[in-house]
Amino acid sequence: MTALAIREDVPLAPLTTLGVGGPARWFVKAGDEAVVIAAHAWARARGVSLRVLGGGSNVVVADAGVDALVVHLALRGVDVRRVDGAVEVTAAAGEPWDALVESTVEREWAGLECLSGIPGLVGATPIQNVGAYGQEVSDTVTAVRALDTEAGRVATLPAAACGFAYRDSAFKRDAPGRWVVLGVTYRLRPGGSPTLGYAEVERHLARHGGAPTLRAVRQAVLTIRRGKSMVLDDPADPNRRSCGSFFLNPIVEATDAAAVATRAADAAMPRWPQPDGRVKLSAAWLIERAGFARGQRTGPVGLSTRHTLAIVAHDEARTDDVLAFARRVQEGVESRFGVRLTPEPVLWGPA
């Protein structure tokens, strides 16, 4: 049986990009699947909750911490195989996401280039159905290897079983906490053309000229993200302590979108029709039109000076401060437009 090096009362704030919150009651770092499986068995035998921490870019930990066994994923490894003219890349859950994207772009394998600069690890990508600038991981995911904590066994789920939707999946929506992602397989296109479905990226490429190669698209995305303090890798950036986008872009019925446009008195309100007839709105646009400005602060918490979707924790901030500020933004947008914004990061509480 795998020995577990379990520690107690381990601070979690340094392991998250927001940098707030209390400790884990129990904590173990998992460098291989055997440790993850043993940690699950340990928690189950003691009736203890199990939480999984990756890069910490999509987690808000309560000030009281979390009364659970937190498994910090550090599984590494990348395998590649050729399948019917495509390349299937299988990456362990603990692989840094942007490093994986960079390596695929350098090898001229298309499919992930617009997802450059997103913080976190591979394991989070199918859970959140990570997406940006015209791509989502659901475009390329073919299989997810995961520990089923209900059955106590490892299974490989095909993409069709993952229930992908906008920033959502069956892992997140249908059975939160049931599945611990161990590895993900992406099918990419060798020598394929980059995805150009986002106006901001196209404008950037047009200004700089040249052919829209995978490398050019990656650099464009990184430049745009850095301009919004959304790369989170610069220790000198005053906006670095955030979860990136704190709110999801709301998807509403077409009649509700029309009502929002009427209340805004702006026929040019940004909106994107969805395949199911609903309409996606811009959360950043709603926040700004509700009267919130970039850099606006309440004590040690405020909006990024570069992007109204990011809530930034400054020195002396606590989780309660972050959540109070988020509620203020939600209430302001709902009062102005009748739309309730949904937070994107997951809140970890004491139990």
Model confidence pLDDT, tens digit, residues 282-308: 999 999 999 999 999 999 999 999 999
What is the pLDDT at residue 1? 58
Fold of 251-348: 3.90.78
Q: What is the pLDDT of residue 51?
A: 96
Residue 296 pLDDT: 97
CATH of domain 7-73: 3.30.43.10
Q: pLDDT at residue 251 above 70?
A: yes
Q: Which residues are catalytic?
A: 167, 245, 344
User: Does the pLDDT of residue 351 top 70, yes or no?
Assistant: no
Q: What is the pLDDT of residue 70?
A: 97
> Over 90: is that where the pLDDT of 267 sits?
no
Q: Would you say 332 and 341 are in contact if contact means Cβ atoms under 8 Å apart?
A: no
Q: Does the pLDDT value for residue 256 go beyond 90?
A: yes
Mean pLDDT of 32-42: 96
Band (334; pLDDT cuts 50, 70, 90): very high
> What angle (nearest 5°) sits at the alpha carbon of residue 271, between those of residues 275 and 344?
85
Return the domain boundaries, the chain: 7-73, 78-227, 251-348
Helix (H), strand (E), coil (C) string for 167-225: CECHHHHCCCCCEEEEEEEEEEEECCCCCCCCHHHHHHHHHHCCCCCHHHHHHHHHHHH
For residue range 167-213, list pLDDT tens digits in order: 899 999 988 889 999 999 999 999 999 999 888 998 998 888 767 99
Do the Cβ atoms of 9 and 24 come closer than 8 Å?
A: yes
**Token output for 240:** 């670095």
Q: Which CATH number fits domain 78-227: 3.30.465.10, 3.40.50.2300, 3.40.50.720, 3.30.230.10?
A: 3.30.465.10
C-alpha 16/C-alpha 347 separation (Å) is 12
pLDDT cut 90: percent of the chain above it = 88
pLDDT of 133 > 80? The answer is yes
- Give the HSE-up count for residue 118: Cα atoms under 13 Å, Cβ half-sphere: 25
pLDDT greater than 80 at residue 141: yes
Closest CA to 286 of 211, 203, 342: 342
DSSP class of 343: B
Here the tokens at position 283 are 């959360």
Instruction: Assess whether pLDDT exceeds 60 at residue 309.
Output: yes
Q: What is the pLDDT of residue 234?
A: 79
Q: Fold match between 7-73 and 251-348?
A: no
Q: What residues contact 152, with CB distance under 8 A and at least 6 apart?
A: 40, 41, 44
Instruction: Kindly state the average pLDDT of the residues 113-140.
Output: 95
Q: What's the average model confidence in pLDDT over 138-150?
A: 97
Other CB atoms within 10 A of residue 267 CB? 7
8's tokens:
């107690």
Q: Is the pLDDT of residue 8 over 90?
A: yes
Q: Nearest CA to 326 among 301, 300, 290? A: 301
